[in-house]
Structure 1
Amino acid sequence: MPSSEPILQASQYLHQLQGYWWPFCRILALFSLAPLFSHKAVSIRIRVLLALALTFALAKALPDPPRIDALSLHGVLVAAEQIAFGLLMGLALQLVFTVFGLVGEVISTQMGMSMARYNDPVNGVSSSSIVSQLYFILLVFLFFATDGHLLIVSVLYQSFVYWPVGSGLHYLGFETLVYSLGWVLSAAVLVTLPVVFFMTLMQFCFGLLNRISPAMNLFSLGFPMTILGGLLCIWLTLPHLPENYLHLSRELLDNIGILLRSGGRV
Protein backbone atom coordinates (compact mmCIF):
# COMPACT_ATOMS: atom_id res chain seq x y z
CA MET A 1 0.00 0.00 0.00
CA PRO A 2 1.51 3.39 -0.91
CA SER A 3 2.50 5.53 2.07
CA SER A 4 0.71 8.57 0.58
CA GLU A 5 -2.70 6.87 0.74
CA PRO A 6 -4.51 7.78 3.98
CA ILE A 7 -5.28 4.92 6.32
CA LEU A 8 -8.73 6.27 7.23
CA GLN A 9 -10.95 7.77 4.62
CA ALA A 10 -12.73 10.32 6.82
CA SER A 11 -15.01 11.47 4.01
CA GLN A 12 -16.39 7.97 3.56
CA TYR A 13 -17.17 7.67 7.25
CA LEU A 14 -18.84 11.08 7.27
CA HIS A 15 -20.98 10.08 4.31
CA GLN A 16 -21.99 6.88 6.10
CA LEU A 17 -22.91 8.88 9.20
CA GLN A 18 -25.10 11.14 7.06
CA GLY A 19 -27.21 8.09 6.28
CA TYR A 20 -28.13 8.07 9.98
CA TRP A 21 -28.14 11.82 10.64
CA TRP A 22 -30.88 12.84 8.19
CA PRO A 23 -33.34 10.08 9.27
CA PHE A 24 -32.62 10.86 12.93
CA CYS A 25 -33.62 14.51 12.44
CA ARG A 26 -36.91 13.55 10.79
CA ILE A 27 -37.78 10.77 13.27
CA LEU A 28 -37.01 12.85 16.35
CA ALA A 29 -39.07 15.75 15.00
CA LEU A 30 -41.98 13.37 14.34
CA PHE A 31 -41.80 11.98 17.88
CA SER A 32 -42.09 15.50 19.25
CA LEU A 33 -45.66 15.78 17.87
CA ALA A 34 -46.78 12.18 17.22
CA PRO A 35 -49.58 10.76 19.40
CA LEU A 36 -48.44 9.28 22.74
CA PHE A 37 -44.76 9.81 21.91
CA SER A 38 -45.21 13.56 22.41
CA HIS A 39 -46.97 13.12 25.78
CA LYS A 40 -45.23 14.78 28.71
CA ALA A 41 -45.05 11.42 30.47
CA VAL A 42 -42.49 10.41 27.82
CA SER A 43 -39.31 12.32 28.65
CA ILE A 44 -37.02 13.86 26.06
CA ARG A 45 -34.32 11.28 26.80
CA ILE A 46 -36.71 8.44 26.02
CA ARG A 47 -37.71 10.12 22.75
CA VAL A 48 -34.07 10.53 21.74
CA LEU A 49 -33.31 6.89 22.56
CA LEU A 50 -36.38 5.71 20.63
CA ALA A 51 -35.39 7.90 17.66
CA LEU A 52 -31.85 6.50 17.74
CA ALA A 53 -33.06 2.90 17.92
CA LEU A 54 -35.53 3.42 15.08
CA THR A 55 -32.87 5.21 13.01
CA PHE A 56 -30.43 2.30 13.31
CA ALA A 57 -33.27 -0.13 12.49
CA LEU A 58 -34.43 1.69 9.33
CA ALA A 59 -31.25 3.32 8.01
CA LYS A 60 -30.08 0.38 5.91
CA ALA A 61 -33.51 -0.05 4.30
CA LEU A 62 -33.89 3.62 3.33
CA PRO A 63 -32.82 5.13 0.00
CA ASP A 64 -29.25 6.37 -0.13
CA PRO A 65 -29.02 10.04 0.88
CA PRO A 66 -27.39 12.55 -1.46
CA ARG A 67 -23.77 13.56 -0.92
CA ILE A 68 -24.24 16.79 1.01
CA ASP A 69 -21.78 18.28 3.46
CA ALA A 70 -23.68 18.28 6.77
CA LEU A 71 -21.62 21.22 8.07
CA SER A 72 -22.28 23.44 5.06
CA LEU A 73 -25.16 25.86 4.60
CA HIS A 74 -26.86 23.39 2.28
CA GLY A 75 -26.54 20.69 4.94
CA VAL A 76 -28.12 22.94 7.57
CA LEU A 77 -31.02 23.67 5.22
CA VAL A 78 -31.50 19.94 4.55
CA ALA A 79 -31.53 19.27 8.30
CA ALA A 80 -34.15 22.00 8.75
CA GLU A 81 -36.15 20.42 5.93
CA GLN A 82 -36.12 17.04 7.70
CA ILE A 83 -37.21 18.64 10.96
CA ALA A 84 -40.02 20.54 9.22
CA PHE A 85 -41.29 17.43 7.47
CA GLY A 86 -41.11 15.40 10.69
CA LEU A 87 -43.18 18.04 12.48
CA LEU A 88 -45.63 18.06 9.58
CA MET A 89 -46.06 14.28 9.76
CA GLY A 90 -46.34 14.28 13.55
CA LEU A 91 -49.03 16.96 13.46
CA ALA A 92 -50.94 14.98 10.82
CA LEU A 93 -50.81 11.81 12.93
CA GLN A 94 -52.02 13.73 16.00
CA LEU A 95 -55.27 14.85 14.36
CA VAL A 96 -57.44 11.90 15.47
CA PHE A 97 -56.49 12.47 19.11
CA THR A 98 -57.22 16.15 18.59
CA VAL A 99 -60.72 15.30 17.34
CA PHE A 100 -61.64 13.39 20.48
CA GLY A 101 -59.95 16.00 22.66
CA LEU A 102 -62.33 18.57 21.18
CA VAL A 103 -65.21 16.12 21.68
CA GLY A 104 -64.37 15.79 25.38
CA GLU A 105 -64.13 19.56 25.81
CA VAL A 106 -67.49 20.18 24.13
CA ILE A 107 -69.25 17.49 26.16
CA SER A 108 -67.73 18.80 29.39
CA THR A 109 -68.96 22.31 28.60
CA GLN A 110 -72.47 21.07 27.85
CA MET A 111 -72.53 19.04 31.09
CA GLY A 112 -71.40 22.01 33.15
CA MET A 113 -68.20 20.19 34.15
CA SER A 114 -65.82 22.53 32.41
CA MET A 115 -64.77 23.87 35.80
CA ALA A 116 -63.68 20.38 36.91
CA ARG A 117 -60.23 20.37 35.38
CA TYR A 118 -57.51 17.77 35.69
CA ASN A 119 -54.35 19.63 36.61
CA ASP A 120 -51.16 18.00 37.89
CA PRO A 121 -48.50 20.70 38.38
CA VAL A 122 -46.02 18.19 39.85
CA ASN A 123 -45.80 16.15 36.64
CA GLY A 124 -46.38 19.13 34.37
CA VAL A 125 -49.62 17.80 32.86
CA SER A 126 -51.59 20.59 31.25
CA SER A 127 -55.09 21.34 32.39
CA SER A 128 -57.77 19.38 30.56
CA SER A 129 -61.29 18.24 31.32
CA ILE A 130 -62.10 14.92 32.94
CA VAL A 131 -64.12 13.78 29.93
CA SER A 132 -61.16 14.54 27.63
CA GLN A 133 -58.96 12.42 29.87
CA LEU A 134 -61.51 9.60 29.63
CA TYR A 135 -61.48 9.71 25.84
CA PHE A 136 -57.69 9.97 25.82
CA ILE A 137 -57.26 6.83 27.93
CA LEU A 138 -59.68 4.90 25.72
CA LEU A 139 -57.86 6.10 22.60
CA VAL A 140 -54.55 4.93 24.06
CA PHE A 141 -55.95 1.39 24.37
CA LEU A 142 -57.38 1.56 20.85
CA PHE A 143 -54.08 2.93 19.53
CA PHE A 144 -52.09 -0.04 20.77
CA ALA A 145 -54.87 -2.53 19.99
CA THR A 146 -54.78 -1.49 16.32
CA ASP A 147 -50.94 -1.46 16.22
CA GLY A 148 -50.80 2.28 15.86
CA HIS A 149 -47.13 2.36 16.92
CA LEU A 150 -46.26 0.02 14.04
CA LEU A 151 -48.35 2.16 11.71
CA ILE A 152 -46.25 5.19 12.64
CA VAL A 153 -43.08 3.25 11.74
CA SER A 154 -44.64 2.27 8.39
CA VAL A 155 -45.60 5.88 7.65
CA LEU A 156 -42.06 6.95 8.53
CA TYR A 157 -40.57 4.46 6.09
CA GLN A 158 -42.97 5.48 3.31
CA SER A 159 -42.11 9.13 3.94
CA PHE A 160 -38.47 8.47 3.07
CA VAL A 161 -39.54 6.63 -0.08
CA TYR A 162 -41.85 9.39 -1.36
CA TRP A 163 -40.05 12.35 0.25
CA PRO A 164 -36.34 11.42 0.10
CA VAL A 165 -33.71 13.55 1.77
CA GLY A 166 -33.08 16.74 -0.16
CA SER A 167 -36.31 16.63 -2.19
CA GLY A 168 -37.66 19.80 -0.57
CA LEU A 169 -41.11 20.64 0.77
CA HIS A 170 -44.03 21.01 -1.63
CA TYR A 171 -47.10 23.22 -1.54
CA LEU A 172 -49.57 20.34 -1.91
CA GLY A 173 -48.40 18.85 1.39
CA PHE A 174 -49.14 22.06 3.28
CA GLU A 175 -52.46 22.41 1.46
CA THR A 176 -53.43 18.90 2.56
CA LEU A 177 -52.55 19.75 6.16
CA VAL A 178 -54.69 22.89 6.09
CA TYR A 179 -57.65 20.90 4.77
CA SER A 180 -57.01 18.30 7.47
CA LEU A 181 -57.34 20.95 10.17
CA GLY A 182 -60.78 21.83 8.80
CA TRP A 183 -61.55 18.11 8.73
CA VAL A 184 -60.74 17.93 12.46
CA LEU A 185 -63.34 20.57 13.30
CA SER A 186 -66.03 18.99 11.10
CA ALA A 187 -65.35 15.50 12.52
CA ALA A 188 -65.56 16.79 16.09
CA VAL A 189 -68.88 18.48 15.30
CA LEU A 190 -70.32 15.29 13.79
CA VAL A 191 -69.23 13.14 16.75
CA THR A 192 -70.59 15.53 19.37
CA LEU A 193 -73.78 16.50 17.51
CA PRO A 194 -76.09 13.90 19.19
CA VAL A 195 -74.80 14.75 22.66
CA VAL A 196 -75.03 18.50 22.07
CA PHE A 197 -78.58 18.17 20.74
CA PHE A 198 -79.67 16.11 23.76
CA MET A 199 -78.04 18.47 26.26
CA THR A 200 -79.49 21.54 24.53
CA LEU A 201 -82.95 19.95 24.61
CA MET A 202 -82.55 19.19 28.32
CA GLN A 203 -81.47 22.75 29.10
CA PHE A 204 -84.39 24.07 27.03
CA CYS A 205 -86.78 21.96 29.10
CA PHE A 206 -85.33 23.29 32.35
CA GLY A 207 -85.54 26.84 31.02
CA LEU A 208 -89.20 26.25 30.12
CA LEU A 209 -89.78 24.81 33.59
CA ASN A 210 -88.24 27.92 35.09
CA ARG A 211 -90.73 30.08 33.20
CA ILE A 212 -93.62 27.92 34.39
CA SER A 213 -92.50 27.73 38.03
CA PRO A 214 -90.10 30.59 38.88
CA ALA A 215 -90.09 29.64 42.55
CA MET A 216 -88.36 26.33 41.82
CA ASN A 217 -84.62 26.34 42.42
CA LEU A 218 -83.31 25.04 39.11
CA PHE A 219 -79.66 25.37 40.10
CA SER A 220 -80.01 22.62 42.69
CA LEU A 221 -82.14 20.49 40.34
CA GLY A 222 -80.86 21.25 36.88
CA PHE A 223 -77.13 20.91 37.51
CA PRO A 224 -77.25 17.29 38.79
CA MET A 225 -79.75 16.32 36.09
CA THR A 226 -77.52 17.83 33.41
CA ILE A 227 -74.54 15.84 34.68
CA LEU A 228 -76.59 12.63 34.78
CA GLY A 229 -77.87 13.30 31.25
CA GLY A 230 -74.34 13.90 30.02
CA LEU A 231 -73.08 10.70 31.63
CA LEU A 232 -75.98 8.85 30.02
CA CYS A 233 -75.01 10.24 26.60
CA ILE A 234 -71.40 9.22 27.13
CA TRP A 235 -72.49 5.72 28.14
CA LEU A 236 -74.68 5.42 25.03
CA THR A 237 -72.00 6.72 22.64
CA LEU A 238 -68.96 4.87 24.04
CA PRO A 239 -69.79 1.59 22.21
CA HIS A 240 -69.40 3.48 18.91
CA LEU A 241 -66.01 4.93 19.88
CA PRO A 242 -63.90 2.16 18.25
CA GLU A 243 -65.90 2.43 15.02
CA ASN A 244 -65.50 6.21 14.94
CA TYR A 245 -61.80 5.91 15.74
CA LEU A 246 -61.18 3.45 12.92
CA HIS A 247 -63.21 5.54 10.46
CA LEU A 248 -61.32 8.72 11.34
CA SER A 249 -58.00 6.83 11.20
CA ARG A 250 -58.77 5.66 7.66
CA GLU A 251 -59.59 9.22 6.63
CA LEU A 252 -56.37 10.38 8.26
CA LEU A 253 -54.31 7.76 6.42
CA ASP A 254 -55.90 8.82 3.14
CA ASN A 255 -54.86 12.41 3.80
CA ILE A 256 -51.34 11.30 4.73
CA GLY A 257 -51.22 9.25 1.52
CA ILE A 258 -52.07 12.36 -0.50
CA LEU A 259 -49.40 14.28 1.41
CA LEU A 260 -46.77 11.61 0.72
CA ARG A 261 -47.64 11.17 -2.93
CA SER A 262 -47.29 14.90 -3.44
CA GLY A 263 -43.57 14.48 -2.71
CA GLY A 264 -43.06 12.75 -6.03
CA ARG A 265 -44.42 15.73 -7.98
CA VAL A 266 -41.40 17.86 -8.59
Structure 2
Amino acid sequence: MEPMLPGLELGAVTGWLAQYGFAMLRIGSFLIASPGFGGRFVPVQVRLMAVVVMALPVMAGGIAGGVALPAPEAMAGLGALRILFTEITLGLVAGMVLTILFGAAALAGDRIAATAGLGFAAQFDPAAGGQTPVVAQLFGLFMLMLFLGADGHLAAIRIVLESYQSVPPGAPVDFTRIVATGLTAGSRMFALGMGAMLPVVACLLLLNIAVGIVTRSAPSLNLFSFGFPITMAATLVLLYVTAPVTGSALDDVVTEGIAAVGQMLEGDDGGR
Protein backbone atom coordinates (compact mmCIF):
# COMPACT_ATOMS: atom_id res chain seq x y z
CA MET A 1 0.00 0.00 0.00
CA GLU A 2 1.34 3.42 -1.00
CA PRO A 3 2.08 5.72 1.97
CA MET A 4 -0.31 8.61 2.27
CA LEU A 5 0.84 12.17 1.72
CA PRO A 6 1.90 13.91 4.93
CA GLY A 7 -0.70 16.29 6.30
CA LEU A 8 -1.56 18.40 9.31
CA GLU A 9 -3.62 17.16 12.17
CA LEU A 10 -6.78 19.06 12.98
CA GLY A 11 -5.61 19.62 16.55
CA ALA A 12 -2.39 21.26 15.37
CA VAL A 13 -4.24 23.54 12.95
CA THR A 14 -6.69 24.55 15.68
CA GLY A 15 -3.83 25.29 18.06
CA TRP A 16 -2.04 27.47 15.51
CA LEU A 17 -5.22 29.39 14.77
CA ALA A 18 -5.73 29.97 18.50
CA GLN A 19 -2.19 31.25 18.84
CA TYR A 20 -2.61 33.46 15.78
CA GLY A 21 -5.78 34.98 17.25
CA PHE A 22 -3.94 35.53 20.50
CA ALA A 23 -1.06 37.25 18.66
CA MET A 24 -3.53 39.72 17.15
CA LEU A 25 -4.90 40.94 20.49
CA ARG A 26 -2.20 43.42 21.49
CA ILE A 27 -1.49 44.90 18.06
CA GLY A 28 -5.20 44.89 17.19
CA SER A 29 -6.16 46.74 20.38
CA PHE A 30 -3.44 49.28 19.73
CA LEU A 31 -4.58 49.96 16.17
CA ILE A 32 -8.22 50.33 17.21
CA ALA A 33 -7.36 52.86 19.94
CA SER A 34 -4.62 54.72 18.06
CA PRO A 35 -5.23 58.07 16.32
CA GLY A 36 -5.94 58.06 12.61
CA PHE A 37 -6.28 54.34 12.06
CA GLY A 38 -8.83 54.02 14.85
CA GLY A 39 -11.11 56.66 13.33
CA ARG A 40 -14.59 55.82 12.19
CA PHE A 41 -13.70 56.81 8.64
CA VAL A 42 -11.46 53.71 8.32
CA PRO A 43 -13.53 50.72 7.12
CA VAL A 44 -13.73 47.73 9.43
CA GLN A 45 -12.44 45.45 6.66
CA VAL A 46 -9.27 47.55 6.37
CA ARG A 47 -8.69 47.40 10.11
CA LEU A 48 -9.17 43.63 10.20
CA MET A 49 -6.82 42.97 7.30
CA ALA A 50 -4.18 45.29 8.79
CA VAL A 51 -4.33 43.46 12.13
CA VAL A 52 -4.07 40.06 10.41
CA VAL A 53 -1.03 41.15 8.40
CA MET A 54 0.74 42.88 11.30
CA ALA A 55 0.32 39.81 13.49
CA LEU A 56 2.27 37.68 10.99
CA PRO A 57 5.72 38.70 12.39
CA VAL A 58 4.52 37.90 15.91
CA MET A 59 3.26 34.47 14.84
CA ALA A 60 6.43 33.79 12.85
CA GLY A 61 8.49 34.74 15.89
CA GLY A 62 6.40 32.40 18.03
CA ILE A 63 7.01 29.51 15.65
CA ALA A 64 10.74 30.29 15.44
CA GLY A 65 11.00 30.66 19.22
CA GLY A 66 11.68 34.42 19.24
CA VAL A 67 8.31 35.28 20.81
CA ALA A 68 7.04 33.21 23.73
CA LEU A 69 3.41 32.68 22.75
CA PRO A 70 1.30 30.61 25.17
CA ALA A 71 0.75 27.00 24.26
CA PRO A 72 -2.71 26.12 22.91
CA GLU A 73 -3.36 24.03 26.04
CA ALA A 74 -2.70 27.06 28.26
CA MET A 75 -5.41 29.06 26.46
CA ALA A 76 -8.09 26.45 27.06
CA GLY A 77 -8.51 27.12 30.79
CA LEU A 78 -9.86 29.99 32.85
CA GLY A 79 -6.31 31.12 33.56
CA ALA A 80 -6.14 32.40 30.00
CA LEU A 81 -8.60 35.19 30.84
CA ARG A 82 -5.92 37.02 32.80
CA ILE A 83 -3.51 36.79 29.88
CA LEU A 84 -6.17 37.96 27.42
CA PHE A 85 -7.07 40.89 29.65
CA THR A 86 -3.42 41.90 29.97
CA GLU A 87 -2.82 41.76 26.22
CA ILE A 88 -5.89 43.85 25.43
CA THR A 89 -5.05 46.34 28.18
CA LEU A 90 -1.50 46.87 26.93
CA GLY A 91 -2.67 47.54 23.37
CA LEU A 92 -5.58 49.77 24.35
CA VAL A 93 -3.59 51.89 26.79
CA ALA A 94 -0.73 52.33 24.29
CA GLY A 95 -3.17 53.52 21.64
CA MET A 96 -5.10 55.71 24.07
CA VAL A 97 -1.90 57.41 25.23
CA LEU A 98 -1.26 58.53 21.66
CA THR A 99 -4.90 59.55 21.22
CA ILE A 100 -4.90 61.57 24.44
CA LEU A 101 -1.71 63.40 23.53
CA PHE A 102 -2.98 64.06 20.02
CA GLY A 103 -5.98 65.71 21.65
CA ALA A 104 -3.66 68.67 22.28
CA ALA A 105 -4.14 69.70 18.63
CA ALA A 106 -7.94 69.66 18.90
CA LEU A 107 -7.75 71.48 22.22
CA ALA A 108 -5.58 74.22 20.73
CA GLY A 109 -7.87 74.62 17.72
CA ASP A 110 -10.98 74.72 19.88
CA ARG A 111 -9.57 77.44 22.16
CA ILE A 112 -8.42 79.51 19.18
CA ALA A 113 -11.86 79.23 17.58
CA ALA A 114 -13.54 80.25 20.85
CA THR A 115 -11.24 83.26 21.29
CA ALA A 116 -11.71 84.38 17.68
CA GLY A 117 -15.49 83.98 17.83
CA LEU A 118 -15.44 81.12 15.33
CA GLY A 119 -16.90 78.55 17.67
CA PHE A 120 -20.15 78.56 15.70
CA ALA A 121 -18.25 77.49 12.53
CA ALA A 122 -18.50 73.78 13.32
CA GLN A 123 -19.24 70.70 11.32
CA PHE A 124 -19.47 66.98 11.93
CA ASP A 125 -16.13 65.34 12.63
CA PRO A 126 -16.15 61.60 11.83
CA ALA A 127 -13.09 61.06 14.01
CA ALA A 128 -14.66 62.66 17.09
CA GLY A 129 -18.19 61.52 16.34
CA GLY A 130 -19.74 64.96 16.90
CA GLN A 131 -19.73 68.64 16.00
CA THR A 132 -16.33 70.29 16.37
CA PRO A 133 -15.03 73.71 15.24
CA VAL A 134 -13.43 73.80 11.82
CA VAL A 135 -10.23 75.24 13.27
CA ALA A 136 -9.95 72.25 15.62
CA GLN A 137 -10.42 69.88 12.69
CA LEU A 138 -7.69 71.66 10.74
CA PHE A 139 -5.33 71.34 13.68
CA GLY A 140 -6.23 67.67 14.00
CA LEU A 141 -5.46 67.05 10.33
CA PHE A 142 -2.21 68.99 10.69
CA MET A 143 -1.31 66.81 13.65
CA LEU A 144 -2.09 63.62 11.76
CA MET A 145 -0.06 64.70 8.72
CA LEU A 146 2.95 65.47 10.92
CA PHE A 147 2.58 62.08 12.59
CA LEU A 148 2.49 60.24 9.27
CA GLY A 149 5.11 62.45 7.62
CA ALA A 150 7.60 61.82 10.44
CA ASP A 151 6.94 58.03 10.23
CA GLY A 152 5.59 58.15 13.74
CA HIS A 153 3.08 55.42 12.90
CA LEU A 154 5.91 53.10 11.85
CA ALA A 155 7.84 53.83 15.05
CA ALA A 156 4.76 53.19 17.19
CA ILE A 157 3.95 49.90 15.43
CA ARG A 158 7.57 48.80 15.75
CA ILE A 159 7.49 49.47 19.49
CA VAL A 160 4.30 47.44 19.91
CA LEU A 161 5.67 44.52 17.89
CA GLU A 162 8.98 44.54 19.79
CA SER A 163 7.07 44.64 23.08
CA TYR A 164 6.17 40.98 22.55
CA GLN A 165 9.80 40.23 23.42
CA SER A 166 10.32 42.82 26.16
CA VAL A 167 6.90 42.04 27.72
CA PRO A 168 6.11 38.44 26.68
CA PRO A 169 2.46 37.33 26.74
CA GLY A 170 1.61 35.98 30.16
CA ALA A 171 4.47 37.80 31.90
CA PRO A 172 3.60 39.92 34.97
CA VAL A 173 2.83 43.54 34.08
CA ASP A 174 3.23 46.60 36.30
CA PHE A 175 -0.24 48.15 36.01
CA THR A 176 0.88 51.01 38.23
CA ARG A 177 3.20 52.22 35.49
CA ILE A 178 0.40 51.86 32.93
CA VAL A 179 -1.96 54.00 35.00
CA ALA A 180 0.78 56.55 35.64
CA THR A 181 1.50 56.77 31.92
CA GLY A 182 -2.17 57.49 31.19
CA LEU A 183 -2.39 60.18 33.86
CA THR A 184 0.83 61.80 32.67
CA ALA A 185 -0.48 61.82 29.10
CA GLY A 186 -3.60 63.68 30.26
CA SER A 187 -1.60 66.39 32.00
CA ARG A 188 0.85 66.72 29.12
CA MET A 189 -2.03 67.11 26.67
CA PHE A 190 -3.07 70.39 28.30
CA ALA A 191 0.52 71.64 28.47
CA LEU A 192 1.25 70.81 24.83
CA GLY A 193 -2.09 72.23 23.73
CA MET A 194 -1.31 75.48 25.52
CA GLY A 195 2.06 75.67 23.79
CA ALA A 196 0.40 75.28 20.39
CA MET A 197 -2.37 77.83 20.92
CA LEU A 198 -0.58 80.44 23.04
CA PRO A 199 0.92 82.57 20.20
CA VAL A 200 -2.43 83.01 18.42
CA VAL A 201 -4.53 83.34 21.57
CA ALA A 202 -2.17 85.94 23.07
CA CYS A 203 -2.33 88.08 19.93
CA LEU A 204 -6.11 87.74 19.74
CA LEU A 205 -6.41 88.74 23.39
CA LEU A 206 -4.46 91.94 22.74
CA LEU A 207 -6.59 92.59 19.66
CA ASN A 208 -9.80 92.13 21.63
CA ILE A 209 -8.55 94.56 24.27
CA ALA A 210 -7.78 97.11 21.55
CA VAL A 211 -11.22 96.63 19.96
CA GLY A 212 -12.84 97.03 23.37
CA ILE A 213 -10.97 100.28 24.00
CA VAL A 214 -11.98 101.65 20.59
CA THR A 215 -15.64 100.74 20.99
CA ARG A 216 -15.60 102.18 24.50
CA SER A 217 -14.14 105.43 23.20
CA ALA A 218 -16.64 105.60 20.34
CA PRO A 219 -19.92 104.07 21.56
CA SER A 220 -21.56 104.74 18.20
CA LEU A 221 -19.45 101.99 16.63
CA ASN A 222 -21.16 98.63 16.50
CA LEU A 223 -19.01 96.02 18.22
CA PHE A 224 -20.08 93.19 15.90
CA SER A 225 -19.85 95.13 12.65
CA PHE A 226 -16.50 96.65 13.63
CA GLY A 227 -14.69 94.11 15.76
CA PHE A 228 -15.80 90.79 14.33
CA PRO A 229 -14.42 91.26 10.77
CA ILE A 230 -11.12 92.51 12.18
CA THR A 231 -10.88 89.53 14.53
CA MET A 232 -11.62 87.04 11.76
CA ALA A 233 -9.09 88.58 9.38
CA ALA A 234 -6.47 88.74 12.13
CA THR A 235 -7.09 85.09 13.03
CA LEU A 236 -6.47 83.93 9.47
CA VAL A 237 -3.29 86.00 9.26
CA LEU A 238 -2.05 84.75 12.63
CA LEU A 239 -2.70 81.12 11.72
CA TYR A 240 -0.62 81.60 8.58
CA VAL A 241 2.20 83.48 10.29
CA THR A 242 2.45 81.14 13.28
CA ALA A 243 2.23 77.93 11.22
CA PRO A 244 5.96 77.09 11.69
CA VAL A 245 5.70 77.60 15.46
CA THR A 246 2.51 75.54 15.60
CA GLY A 247 4.15 72.79 13.55
CA SER A 248 7.10 72.69 15.95
CA ALA A 249 4.75 72.47 18.93
CA LEU A 250 2.75 69.66 17.34
CA ASP A 251 5.95 67.83 16.41
CA ASP A 252 6.76 67.81 20.12
CA VAL A 253 3.43 66.04 20.62
CA VAL A 254 4.53 63.29 18.21
CA THR A 255 7.88 62.96 19.97
CA GLU A 256 6.33 62.73 23.43
CA GLY A 257 3.68 60.28 22.21
CA ILE A 258 6.26 57.86 20.81
CA ALA A 259 8.40 58.25 23.93
CA ALA A 260 5.43 57.57 26.23
CA VAL A 261 4.48 54.39 24.37
CA GLY A 262 8.10 53.25 24.42
CA GLN A 263 8.49 53.87 28.15
CA MET A 264 5.29 51.96 28.91
CA LEU A 265 5.98 48.93 26.72
CA GLU A 266 9.77 48.77 26.60
CA GLY A 267 11.07 50.95 29.40
CA ASP A 268 12.88 53.31 26.99
CA ASP A 269 12.05 56.01 24.49
CA GLY A 270 11.38 53.64 21.64
CA GLY A 271 14.61 54.45 19.88
CA ARG A 272 13.42 57.91 18.86
The TM-score, its normalising length taken from structure 1, stands at: 0.86
Cα deviation 1:179-204 (Å, max 9, x = unaligned):
12101111111221121111111111
SS at structure 1 position matched to 2:74: coil
**Contact 2:159-2:266 within 8 A present in 1 as well:** no
Q: Return the alpha-carbon distance in structure 2 between the equivalents of residues 242 and 206 of structure 1.
A: 29
| Closer/same/farther in 2, CA of residues 47 and 168 from structure 1, 3 Å limit | farther
What is residue 46 of structure 1 aligned with on the other side?
A: 46
What is residue 4 of structure 2 aligned with on the other side?
A: none
- In the TM superposition, residue 118 of structure 1 has moved relative to its aligned partner by 1.3
- In the TM superposition, residue 44 of structure 1 has moved relative to its aligned partner by 2.0
Structure 1's unaligned 5+ residue stretches are 1-6
What is residue 160 of structure 1 aligned with on the other side?
A: 164
What is residue 244 of structure 2 aligned with on the other side?
A: 239
Query: Mapping of 1:4-19 within 5 angstroms?
Result: 12-19=12-19
Query: Mapping of 1:65-144 within 5 angstroms?
Result: 65-67=69-71, 69-119=74-124, 125-144=129-148
Paired letter, 1:164: P
| Closer/same/farther in 2, CA of residues 242 and 206 from structure 1, 3 Å limit | closer
Residue 63 (str. 1) matches residue 32 (str. 2): no
What is residue 3 of structure 1 aligned with on the other side?
A: none
- In the TM superposition, residue 9 of structure 1 has moved relative to its aligned partner by 5.4
Q: Identity over the aligned pairs, expressed in percent?
A: 23
What is residue 190 of structure 1 aligned with on the other side?
A: 195
- In the TM superposition, residue 119 of structure 1 has moved relative to its aligned partner by 1.9
What is residue 20 of structure 1 aligned with on the other side?
A: 20
Q: Return the alpha-carbon distance in structure 1 between the equivalents of residues 247 and 215 of structure 2.
A: 39
When the two chains are superposed, the root-mean-square deviation of aligned CA atoms in Å is: 2.4
- In the TM superposition, residue 131 of structure 1 has moved relative to its aligned partner by 0.9
Query: Mapping of 1:172-211 within 5 angstroms?
Result: 172-211=177-216
- In the TM superposition, residue 92 of structure 1 has moved relative to its aligned partner by 1.5
SS at structure 1 position matched to 2:131: strand
Structure 2's unaligned 5+ residue stretches are 1-6
- In the TM superposition, residue 50 of structure 1 has moved relative to its aligned partner by 0.9
**Contact 1:173-1:262 within 8 A present in 2 as well:** no
- In the TM superposition, residue 10 of structure 1 has moved relative to its aligned partner by 5.3
SS at structure 2 position matched to 1:159: helix
- In the TM superposition, residue 71 of structure 1 has moved relative to its aligned partner by 3.6
Paired letter, 1:150: L
Paired letter, 2:143: L
Q: Return the alpha-carbon distance in structure 1 between the equivalents of residues 244 and 172 of structure 2.
A: 43
Q: Which 10-residue stretch deviates more, 171-180 or 103-112?
A: 171-180
What is residue 226 of structure 1 aligned with on the other side?
A: 231
**Contact 2:196-2:250 within 8 A present in 1 as well:** no
Q: Return the alpha-carbon distance in structure 1 between the equivalents of residues 9 and 68 of structure 2.
A: 19
- In the TM superposition, residue 120 of structure 1 has moved relative to its aligned partner by 6.7
Aligned length: 256
Paired letter, 1:133: Q
Cα deviation 1:162-221 (Å, max 9, x = unaligned):
221112432112112211210111111122112111111111112222221112101111
SS at structure 1 position matched to 2:55: helix
